[in-house]
Structure 1
Amino acid sequence: MTEITVPTDANVFGALFGREHDPARVFMETAAGRQLRFGEAADITARYAGLLAGLGVAKGRLVAGLLEKSPEGILLYLAVCRLGAVYLPVHIGLTDAEIGHILRDAEPVAVVCDPSRRDCVGSAGTHRVLTLDAKGAGTLTEGSRGIEGLDELTAVSPSDANAMVYTSGTTGRPKGALLSAGSVIWNARALAACWRIGPDDTLLHANPMAYGLFGTTTPALAGGAAMILLSKFETEAVLAALPRATIFAGVPTYYSRLMADPRFGRELCTEMRLFVTGSAPMRADAFEAFAARTGHRLLDRYGLTEALIATSNRFEDRRRPDTSGLPLPGSRLRIVDKDGQEVPAGTVGMIELQQPFPFLGYWRDDAKTAAAFRDGWFVTGDFGRVDEEGHVSVLGRGADLIITGGLNVYPKEVEAALNALDAVAESAVIGVSHPDFGEAVVAVVQPANRRTPFDPQQAIAALRSSLAGYKVPKRIELVDEMPRNTLGKIQKNLLKQRFAGTFGPGAG
């Protein structure tokens, strides 16, 4: 694979969109058929940049986007990049209180929001507010008409900030992670190379606007691909658009919903060349069933807010359901014990990263930033293992590690055994306070068929043949549906709260 380069003048607009494009070629298209061509994008982003500059947006200043997905929303990010400013994507599904916390903490100079969130945004700071809806209408587009565009790109170094993304906040209040221009460019170009994205590709984009910007949109920009934008994942819309796409990126929940539809199969995937999964574990049996049904093996990758996409299988790799591939070109990954000492291949430990452009730190929190690094390595907070060839298997968050009777239990290992049982649709393994063991292993199971009785005791007995005794759940709780966030990840923190009182004194 060729070396991934980042220019000294690292303006993200120039690096990811500055190539020569056929101006007549469709750049982005919505599910409703609204199209935007490559030739229009440069002019529109220049005019957006002119409007934002008039509001005081300049190099290093923050601009927040709280938007439904639209071509104009992506052009807004590119306009911010033109100015060398810092983009803050905010997920539109957050509550007013969550949005208010982010905006008051970040203090952006301007916010562009969907009209439905105008009141919430207006009460959360002194920023200037523009609107933009999913159809491309609003004061952003109206105000930019007739404005002289700013064609010149602001000079930006690789170490200058390009974006600030807030963490999910599952272990505390969300905190802003500053990403450099170098990291965004390097990550996008590395993924485009690993996935062989080129101008002949069309990405079917069903991921959320905020969470899908890096790792989905930016690699497509780096490769010069076109995009079909769906406002959200809906099976009907994906099935209708698949025949015109070559790449689809989603979470395991998307794939399970597609597999539940009998129309989804090889006939709809004749033009597809790549399906990417990530953000949550994929069941091994579901992985193999997808391959048998479509003729495509899913390509897994591993990412996190501070590091963007950290590892990925390559397009040409032999893809397995239990690995998220190799570190991206130019980066390194190691597995260490609690003392920071590297452990042998195959041994479980904490994942640490070295990237050519590490994240710049947490917003206004030097102490947390310092604690995030050890000897130049970023401490991810995730645990996993690598095989002899360097492929990483991610086993979960460090906060999810269960220590029962002094022994470590990695939830993913127990979940894999549970998911292999015919009666289980999905499982989540958590640690619950226990008077004798400190923590007890508890499994939460969503049965595969509500009409067929699920016997937790039979399941526990079956697990004893494949798991050591201390790993076998002491109790299995049943739920109709798992709580999930907008990326489809199971919210284990909510399950821990729900089942916190499972064991009383003397239980065992």
Structure 2
Amino acid sequence: MTTAGETTREATAAHPSPTTDGPPAQSPSTWYGLLEHNARTAPHDSALIDGERTLTHAELLARVRRLIGGFADLGVEPGQIVAVWLPNCLEWVETAAALAALGATALGINTKLRSHDVSGLLARADCDLVITDPGFRGIGFRDMLREIHADDPEAIRLVVEVALPSDEATAPEAPSPAAPAASSGAAAPATAAETTAADTGTTAEPTPFATIDYARLLEAAPREPSTHDANTHASAFTSSGSTGVPKIIMHTQAGLIGHSTAVARTFGYMDASTVVLATLPLCGVFGLNTLMAALCAGRPAVLQAAFNPRQTIDLIERHRITHTNMADAMLAMMLDAVEDPTRISTLCEVGFGNFTATDVRGIIRRGGELGKRFFQTYGSSEVQALMCYPPADADMERLSQGGGVPVAPLIEVRVAADTPDSPDTTDAPAAPDTTSDEPPTGEIEIRGPFVSPGRITEHGYEDTPVDEDGWFGTGDLGYMRTADDVVYLNRMGDVLRLGGFLVAPREVEDLLITLPGIGEAQFVAAPGPRGLVPVAFVVLDPAAETTFDEDAVLADCSAVLATFKVPKRVIPLDEFPTVRGANGDKIQRNRLREMAEDVLPTR
């Protein structure tokens, strides 16, 4: 916890993470050590592909060494948090590696966020150095930074401006990204008065804060890391819950690389033919773990600045991509855009998260018809993404469920037997005394060296809450299918007590999307005079030829569901309310609960 008068930066430096068992000793445990290992063992192999730009492992290491010097010349210190407000690109990766070598932390910020959200993150992280591309997709990053500066002139000390050649993979050939000739050091940043459009190569009004061209940092003399401590905080991610103020989740170099190495081995990235597509934003664990797993395997990673299904297909065909990870909606969109399946013939496996109530079984079935293995995985900002892989005996039903077997023996998982009721179960009748052959459900708990050591909240830096034995409560409801195979059901706050029984919304949602005309479904509940009353919201399938009939849907539900699970109303919407997250939009179930109250009869 930050003490009185102690800044977040001082707190994160003063409270380093405890040493853990981490990855095997022979494996690199720092960003720099990983890049150095790859450059030594396969210097001429491709490491990163970004549009028309390709970096070999040797070139990537050379650029990172210069950036270490460039950021050091700017005064970056151990424990400092630096905001990386960029799309997926070479510069994102090499910046994070260089900052880690200085003991600093890269805070990834999604390019979809706007000034209000970014201002809050910068304040909580005590972060006054921002790296961004002011020209990316005409979004207006400079204007947003001006707004933040106008509200708080101390909020931004310096902005490093990246001039990306293009955000499309089909951009014209860019200058070689190999390291430029050495100079005595990085140029000093321009003062606010000196900063003009000429400094950045773009057309803009002068900024009220100092800026420096990213290219100038690459002119610095190469420098070795100032720290080889693998337990320093290296990456920070914003939590993407549907309510509350986002937390900033910290991860160490050892934790990130140890976990990503396990992902590489379990997900099949070590094969010599593997090419990985990094299309999820690197500002989230889902995206960064995918990228890091490719680097840990020494295999090429193709970077996509922003997801576009047709461009994704182009990249798969062009680079013979074999593996990637996506959100469910992204994967569904890509499948819808595939007109010629031979264009994605090299694609073998895709892990995905179910964020938007898409027809998961349909996605997996379509993948199987194309000879590909699609499956749900499991993870979070605190325990990292891609934490589980499907068991060897997984059929389509198991592939459609979240969870799986942990990717490393160091990761322990269990389901708490004495999980208290979720927030939605208070003031409800107790469950009747029944027996069942079903495995007991409870909160999924994780223990291991790759769990986040700490986080920054509105109260400052806090250690990650674990019990006396080191178990972290995920807030997720699930059950153990076998001794090592965990099944994720729902967030604990989403679980409902209906008629005295605990009900996972997904059970009803999965039924609803099998009914004619329904494409997506959400199942929530609102308070009624005798407890919670279930309500379903649906988005209709635009390709369906049937007219929505609420009474018919309710009759279909009544025919197969227990009475207490049948929704009182089924309401069609054009779309579900969502909130932006690092891996895409997430449905705001709290808003749906409010909407459910509005459609139920007044009591």
Structure-1-length-normalised TM-score: 0.90
**Is 1:332–2:412 an aligned residue pair?**
yes
- Other-structure match for 2:307: 233
In the TM superposition, 1:111-150 aligns within 5 A as: 111-115=130-134, 116-121=140-145, 123=149, 125-135=155-165, 139-150=212-223
Give how far 1:103 is off: 0.3
Give how far 1:11 is off: 2.3
In the TM superposition, 1:69-88 aligns within 5 A as: 69-88=88-107
**Is 1:432–2:526 an aligned residue pair?**
yes
Task: Give the partner amino acid of 2:48.
Answer: M
In the TM superposition, 1:348-387 aligns within 5 A as: 348-363=441-456, 365=459, 369=463, 371=465, 373=467, 375-387=469-481
Q: Is the 8 A contact 1:445 1:479 kept in 2?
A: yes
Q: Is the 8 A contact 2:79 2:104 kept in 1?
A: yes
Task: Give the partner amino acid of 1:106.
Answer: A
Distance 1:339 1:401, change over 3 A: closer
Q: Is the 8 A contact 2:456 2:462 kept in 1?
A: no
Q: Is the 8 A contact 1:67 1:133 kept in 2?
A: no
User: 1 CA distance for matches of 2:82 and 2:440?
Assistant: 43
User: 1 CA distance for matches of 2:163 and 2:594?
Assistant: 37
Task: Give the partner amino acid of 1:147.
Answer: A
**CA deviation map 1:263-293 (0-9, x unaligned):** 152x223322222212536634314422343
Q: Is the 8 A contact 1:8 1:157 kept in 2?
A: no
- Other-structure match for 2:324: 248
User: 1 CA distance for matches of 2:537 and 2:419?
Assistant: 32
In the TM superposition, 1:78-477 aligns within 5 A as: 78-115=97-134, 116-121=140-145, 123=149, 125-135=155-165, 139-152=212-225, 154-158=227-231, 160-198=232-270, 199-211=272-284, 212-243=286-317, 244-265=320-341, 267-280=342-355, 283-309=359-385, 311-313=387-389, 318=394, 320-329=399-408, 330-339=410-419, 346-363=439-456, 365=459, 369=463, 371=465, 373=467, 375-437=469-531, 439-449=532-542, 452-477=546-571
Corresponding residue SS for 1:309: coil
Task: Give the partner amino acid of 1:27.
Answer: A
User: 1 CA distance for matches of 2:452 and 2:281?
Assistant: 22
User: 1 CA distance for matches of 2:567 and 2:94?
Assistant: 49
Corresponding residue SS for 1:107: coil
Distance 1:6 1:103, change over 3 A: farther
User: 1 CA distance for matches of 2:161 and 2:566?
Assistant: 52
User: 2 CA distance for matches of 1:154 and 1:279?
Assistant: 39
Give how far 1:314 is off: 5.2
Give how far 1:126 is off: 3.9
Corresponding residue SS for 1:324: strand
Task: Give the partner amino acid of 1:42.
Answer: L
Task: Give the partner amino acid of 2:42.
Answer: D
Larger radius of gyration: 2
Task: Give the partner amino acid of 2:47.
Answer: F
Query: Does 133-142 or 104-113 show the bigger shift?
Result: 133-142
Give how far 1:59 is off: 2.2
Distance 1:36 1:109, change over 3 A: same
Distance 1:278 1:112, change over 3 A: same
Give the gaps of 5 or more residues in structure 1. none
Count of matched residue pairs: 499
User: 2 CA distance for matches of 1:370 and 1:38?
Assistant: 35
Distance 1:459 1:63, change over 3 A: same
Q: What is the root-mean-square deviation in Å for CA atoms of aligned residues?
A: 2.8
Give how far 1:21 is off: 4.7
Structure-2-length-normalised TM-score: 0.76
User: 2 CA distance for matches of 1:344 and 1:178?
Assistant: 40
User: 1 CA distance for matches of 2:58 and 2:27?
Assistant: 26
Task: Give the partner amino acid of 1:28.
Answer: L
Corresponding residue SS for 2:560: coil
Task: Give the partner amino acid of 1:128.
Answer: L
Query: Does 110-119 or 6-15 show the bigger shift?
Result: 6-15
Give the gaps of 5 or more residues in structure 2. 1-21, 135-139, 167-199, 202-211, 422-435
Q: Is the 8 A contact 1:299 1:315 kept in 2?
A: no
Distance 1:368 1:75, change over 3 A: closer
User: 1 CA distance for matches of 2:438 and 2:26?
Assistant: 35
